[in-house]
Amino acid sequence: MSNIMIVGATRGIGLELTKQYAEEGNSVIACARDTGSASLLDELASGSDNITIEQLDVSNPSSIEEASNKIGDTAIDTVIIVAGAVGGMPENQSIDNIDIEEWHRTLDTNTIGPLLVAKAFKDNLVASGNGNLMILSSQLGASTWPMGGMYIYSTTKAAVGKAGKILSLDWAEEPITVSIMHPGWVQTDMGGPTAEITAEESASGIRNVINGLTKEDSGNFYKWNGEIHPW
């Protein structure tokens, strides 16, 4: 069995990934921005000996450092960064009416935070001998996305995709595979109830992709169903 770390595990895809990995017998470090408001995760962890909850706010460098210090040098086989922000309502993400302060906050969460998490837990992944770092992005971050608007969300997700690609090159000699994931349009608080797939389907697909990755796949952008997503 493996040691898995889920960053952003309180609900939706992150909660479902925690559930599926724990049920399989893996040890899961489930990270929550606010451990005092994580009732669904608390309930899941109370029924499992395989889940440890840690506080980690991906938008806060000090929080990331504190989590790293607490977890220590434990080998971690897979780190999946799920935590993200939509960046506000669509009407506040147009070129004519954009919330600049929200753009900065979302950049911290969607782009800078995941890179700081990667830096903080690099040694843990190296200790695994065959580590996987996966960052959840979005199809809106691809240059092939055919719709306008959503400047804040789209640009911060595009940026983290590039950050992941650079990381895969910088870590080419390390025993870590870096990948970017479009988890699908998922029935979560962010995706809404009419989205195409359930959190269970998305999480299962993500796990299947990770299970099939090799070092040669490092830097790729995937869809939840295993297909390569065009950049």
Task: Give the CATH number for residue 105.
Answer: 3.40.50.720
Look at residues 135, 131, 224, 126 and name the one whose alpha carbon lies nearest to residue 183: 224
Average pLDDT, the chain: 94
On whether the CB atoms of residues 206 and 13 are closer than 8 A, the answer is yes
Residue of higher predicted confidence among 194 and 2: 2
> Per-residue confidence at 185, pLDDT binned at 50, 70, 90?
confident
Q: What is the pTM of this model?
A: 0.95
Residue 228 located in a structural domain: no
User: Which of 29, 28, 37 lies closest to 10 in space, CA to CA?
Assistant: 37
Strands 78-81, 93-94: pairing kind: unpaired
Which tokens in the block code for residue 50? Answer: 């395989």
Please give the average per-residue pLDDT across 74-93, as a whole number: 95
For residues 121 and 141, what is the distance between their CA atoms, to the nearest angstrom?
25
Q: What residues does 99 pair with on adjacent strands?
A: none
In a domain, 196, yes or no: yes
For 185, the token pair is 């349009």
Distance CA 226, CA 221 (A): 10
- Give the span between the Cα atoms of 180 and 163, in whole angstroms: 10
Instruction: Quote the pLDDT of residue 78.
Output: 98
What is the model's pLDDT at position 192?
Answer: 66
- Is there a domain that residue 230 lies in? no
pLDDT surpasses 90 at 197: no
218, 177 Cβ separation under 8 angstroms: yes
**229 domain residue, yes or no:** no
* 231 inside domain: no
Considering its fold, how many domains does the chain have in total?
Answer: 1
- d(CA 60, CA 57) in angstroms, rounded, equals 5
Q: Find the domain containing 192 and state its range.
A: 3-223
Residue 21 lies in a domain: yes
Strand intervals (E) in 42-114: 51-55, 78-81, 93-94, 97-98
In which band, very low, low, confident or very high, does the pLDDT at 202 lie, cut at 50, 70 and 90?
very high
